[in-house]
Chain A
Amino acid sequence: MFAQQVAAAQPLLIGLLLLWTSYGKLTRPEEAQKTALPKLVGEKRATPAYRTVGAIEAVLALALLSPPVWTAEVLAAIALGVGFTGYLVYAKIAVPEASCGCAGTAAKPVGARSIARALLLTATAAAALTASQGWWSAGPATLILIAEAAAFVVLSPELDRYWLLPLRRLRIRLSHPLAGTASNAVPLAATHRLLLLSPAHRAVTGFLRSDIRDYWDEADWRFVSYTARYDGRPATAVFAVPHDAATPEAVRVAVVDESSGQTLYRPALLSLAG
């Protein structure tokens, strides 16, 4: 008796699910271009095909939700579920970057969850095969649908932002996994930014030929070297950036001859003026 009621309740869930997925397809048929449909049926026919699937879903949903109870409706739902599963497996193999196009506008490519959801739809429809009465007379068995609906939600990437992201946000608010990364070490990116803003860099920028070649720390300074050319000679430009520098004016620079090691250029006045 109870099994009968469970079977009878299933069309309610399938109907609501199909209404949701058809809504996305009918209101945003342009999403078809992001799916594997252009490859399967051709670019021109993708949008009409997408809209047709949406219409079939809507009609079937309304048939399942309203009396009378026909086994043919359930068989059609099974066929649809099998069709979706096959299509998604094809899409994952043929056009791996294609979006599912199942419901809504999620740009996520077809994954195991989408395929599992199509399988679950098929199984739910199969469970309804033995129903002899409508979902409106299923009684307390309708409550089982809550668990089934939860399973559909978990398998829907389109709905992640409503429950999965908030859950992850909460977890990170309670204990951030990267809380231990704070340190007094100055990242090279911070040194680089200060250096680029400095009068010292402006003074020698015309001599620089490379990106950062080497960097090292000594005492309270970080040193950063670049390949340079000065007066036609190969040289190295070396910047000194104080670790606790508050302003870019504290940055110093020297251009050193590559072969003799002589300092060729040193805008010393800049650091004094700063």
Chain B
Amino acid sequence: MTSMDRRALLTRAALGATGLIAASAMGSLAPEAAFAASAQVPDPGAPDPNFAEGLITGRNQDLLQVQGSDGRLHKIQLTGVTSVWKLRPTTIDQARIGDGLYARGVKLPDGVLAAESVWINIVNLDVMINSIGRTGLNLDHHGQKVVGHVQEGITAAVYNGTPAISDLSMLKVGRHVQVIGAWRPGTNEIDLATIYAAN
């Protein structure tokens, strides 16, 4: 079943325009083992077993090898039902070697983390806007220069906590803003997702 058919089914379900659907109408996307296990509660002081972070150092089909920033090694299984964020919700093939990630899921008995949610290269920075150009912002993060690229159709701004809009023309030079974005590995550049500004 294609993602289009799937979306059509979900569209009808959300709007209540459909009753029961035949059992064969939708193929299973979830590996049974991954989500049969229930979430474990971490021991006090111990690392959360259902969470992992680090750099992707290897990828074998949908099994990621991740080197944690604390030195721990993680194996993370992506599945058809894993949510993947990389600047926007995207597909599991976007997880590449060299990317950084945060993953949350269910630890399987063999030590593999079956990921339910993965955030790739996500950064959350308090910065000052140094200058504004046609393609993005030059930012200052505690003295370090960061280039923030505007992505048409994705980058949005939240002014004073009001709903996000695509209009970035109210951003001002010299102001502090908070940005959520996707880091471009090996650079000081990020693609901007959301900019929170107070005017």
* A residues with CB within 8 A of B: 97, 99, 107-109, 161, 165, 168-169, 172, 176-179, 181-183, 185, 187-190, 193-194, 209-216, 218, 221, 223, 225-227, 229, 234, 236, 238-240, 252-254, 256-263, 266, 268
CA distance A216 to B89 in the complex (A): 11
Q: Is the CB of B169 within 8 A of A211?
A: no
B155 within 8 A of A: yes
Using A177-B134, A185-B153, A213-B83 as known contacts, say yes or no to A258 and B142 having CB atoms under 8 A apart: no
Chain B residues, Cβ within 8 Å of A178: 132, 134, 150, 168-169, 171
Asked whether, in the complex, the Cβ of A181 is within 8 Å of the Cβ of B167, the reply is: yes
A51 to chain B, nearest CB (A): 23
Instruction: Looking at the assembled complex, report how far the CB atom of B138 sits from the nearest CB atom of chain A, in whole angstroms.
Output: 10
Given the known A-B contacts A178-B132, A212-B89, A262-B20, are A238 and B163 also in contact in the complex, defined by CB atoms under 8 Å? Answer: no
Known: A99-B143, A108-B143, A214-B7. A258 touches B14 (CB 8 A): no
Residue B198 interfacial (CB < 8 Å): no
| B interface: dominant SS | loop
Q: What's the Cα separation between A193 and B158 when bound, in Å?
A: 11
CB contact between B166 and one of A161, A182, A193, A262 (< 8 Å): that residue: A182
Chain A neighbourhood of B171, CB < 8 A? 178
Interface contact A256-B13, CB-CB below 8 Å:
yes
A189 near B193: Cβ-Cβ < 8 Å: yes
Contacting A at CB under 8 A, from B134-154, are: 134, 140, 142-144, 150, 152-154
Please measure, in the bound complex, the distance between the C-alpha atom of A194 and the C-alpha atom of B35, giving whole angstroms. 29
> Which residue, B14, B22, B28, B169, has most C-beta atoms of chain A within 10 A?
B14
Pick the contact of B25 from A193, A209, A234, A261 — CB < 8 Å? Answer: A261
Show 25 residue pairs from A and B whose CB-CB distance is below 8 angstroms, ordered by the A residue. A168-B130, A176-B169, A177-B134, A181-B168, A188-B156, A190-B165, A209-B116, A210-B81, A211-B119, A212-B85, A213-B81, A218-B11, A227-B82, A234-B30, A238-B10, A238-B13, A240-B11, A252-B14, A258-B28, A258-B81, A260-B21, A261-B22, A263-B19, A263-B21, A268-B16
Interface: B174 (CB within 8 A): yes
A interface footprint on B1-27 (CB within 8 Å = 1, 0 otherwise): 001000101110111101111110111
With known contacts A172-B172, A187-B156, A254-B14, A259–B9 Cβ distance under 8 A:
no
